[in-house]
Chain A
C-alpha cells in the first residue's frame, strides 16, 4: 500500500511537471499566434507547419545560450531567483485537482498530488512566494531598472495579496471548507449551483487580482518593456531567463484551473463531460489572459495601488460583511 502510494505520487508529480513545462512552451506559441491574429499580423509561421516548431527552436536557443552572470551582481541570489519562480509555480500545483478521479486498468487515480484540507490557502501562499523570484532577481542585479521592478514586485505583492484573500473569504464562508475538492462537490449539482451566481463580486475581484499576481498585461508593471526595459529580467540570459518565463506561464495555467474550481463548478459531477468542461473553462481563462494583453494598455503603478486600496479592498470587505449577514439571518 505504502509503496504503491509512493510510486503513484511520484508518477503524478512527473506527469504534472512534464505536461505543464510543455504547456508553458506551447502557451508562448498560442500567445504569439493570438496576439498576431488580433493585431492583423501573421505571428510565427516559418519554422514547421503553421510555425508550430517555433517553440522547439526557442527552447534550443534558450538552452544553448551562454549563461551570463554579470560582474557586480550578488551571485548566489542572482542564480537562485529564477528557480524560485519556476519551482513555486509547480509546487502550488500539488494541491490542484486537475481532473475528476478516473479508473485506469482497474486502478483508481485521483489526479491531485496532495489533497490537503487547506488547499486554497496553500495554493495562494505558494504562488505568492513565487513573487520572490522577480524581487530577488531585481535586487541582486545591480541594475537600476531591475531595482525599480523589484520595488514594484514588492508593492504588488503586499497589496494584491489582501484583495485575493478577502475575495475568496466570502465563498469559503459559504462552503465552509478550504479544500478545492469540497468546493467542487458544493457546486456539483449543475450550472445553477455555481458559486459565481451567489458571489459575482468575489469572482470579479479574484479574477482582477489573478492578473496582478501573475503579472499579466493590465498590471504588467513588474517587467514593463517600454518603461523599465525588462525589469528584473534585464540582466538575465539563456535558460535562467527562460525559467522566469516557464514560471509565469505555468502560473497562468494554474490560476486558470483555480478560478473555475472556485467559482465555476470545476469538473462538476466528475463525468467525462465534466472533465472536458473544466478543460474548456481553463482554455477560456487562459485565452482571456492573452485577449486582455491584446486589448488593453498597462496601468501606471500609482493607478494600480489606487485601484487596490481604494476600490477593490473596500468592495471586498463589504462583500464579506454582506455574505456574513445573509448567512446569519
Chain B
C-alpha cells in the first residue's frame, strides 16, 4: 500500500517538475525544477530496493545541476524572464508526435517485459552496493573504464581551455603590477587591431 502511494506521489511530482523545466521562461524556475525532478527520481530507486543507486542519484545530480546553476549565473540575469526565440513549428510538431509514440511504447512495454528475465537477479542476502560493484568490475568493466578515460580527456581539455595565465595570481600582485598587466593587454589588443 505504501509502495503504491509513494510511487504515484513521486511519479506525479517528477512529471510535474520536468513539465515546469520545459515550459517555464524563468531560468531559475527551470533549474530548480530540474534539480527537484532529479532528486525525486531517486525515490523510485529506493522503492525498488536499489538504495545505493538512489543515494548516488541524489549525490551526482545535485552536483551536476549545481554546475548548471553556475552557468545560469554567468549567462543570464536569473531574476528576469528569458526571451526565447520561437523555433521551427515543424520541429515542435515532430517532437510532439515522437513523444506520443514513446508514451504508447512505454505503456505497452509491460506486455513484452513479462517475457524478460534478469541476467543478474538481485540476491536478498548480498547488499545492494556489493552487487553493483560486482557487475561493474566484471561484466561492465570495459564500458566503465572507457567512461573513466572519457572523463579524464574532458578534464584535461577543460584545464587546457581554462588554464591560460594560471601562473598569475591577481590576489598576490600589488596594484602597480596589475596596472602594468592591464596596459600590456591593451597594447596587445591594439597590435591585433592594427595588423
Which residues of A are interface residues toward B (Cβ below 8 A)?
Answer: 72-74, 76-77, 80, 116-118, 121-122, 124-126, 128-129, 131-132, 135-136, 139-142, 147, 150-151, 154-155, 157-158, 161, 165, 177-178, 300, 302
Contact = CB atoms under 8 A, between A and B. Distances in A.
Contacts of A141: 79
A124 B58 CA distance: 10
Interface band, chain B: 20 to 34
Interface of B: 26, 28-29, 32, 35, 39, 51-52, 54-56, 58-59, 62-63, 66-67, 69-70, 72-73, 78-79, 127-129, 169, 171
A-B interface, 4 closest residue pairs, ranked by CB to CB distance from nearest:
A121-B55, A125-B58, A125-B59, A142-B79
A135 B171 CA distance: 25
B32 A77 contact: yes
Given A117-B51, A118-B52, A118-B128, A135 B59 contact: no
A132 B62 contact: yes
B127 A126 contact: no
B52 A129 contact: no
Contacts of A158: 63, 66-67, 70
A74 B28 CA distance: 8
Contact of B52 (A117, A140, A142): A117
Nearest to B39: A129
B62 A129 contact: yes
A16 to B, nearest CB: 20
Contacts of A80: 32
A122 B55 contact: yes
Contacts of B129: 117-118, 178
B69 A135 contact: yes
A132 B70 CA distance: 12
B122 to A, nearest CB: 13
Nearest to B128: A117
A4 to B, nearest CB: 15
Contacts of B69: 135, 139, 150, 154
Contacts of A161: 59, 63
Contacts of B171: 300, 302
A140 B79 CA distance: 6
Given A77-B29, A117-B128, A151 B52 contact: no
Given A117-B128, A154-B69, 5 more contacts: A121-B59, A124-B59, A129-B39, A139-B73, A140-B78
A298 to B, nearest CB: 15
B55 A125 contact: yes
Contact of A151 (B59, B62, B73): B73
B127 A128 contact: no
Nearest to A143: B79
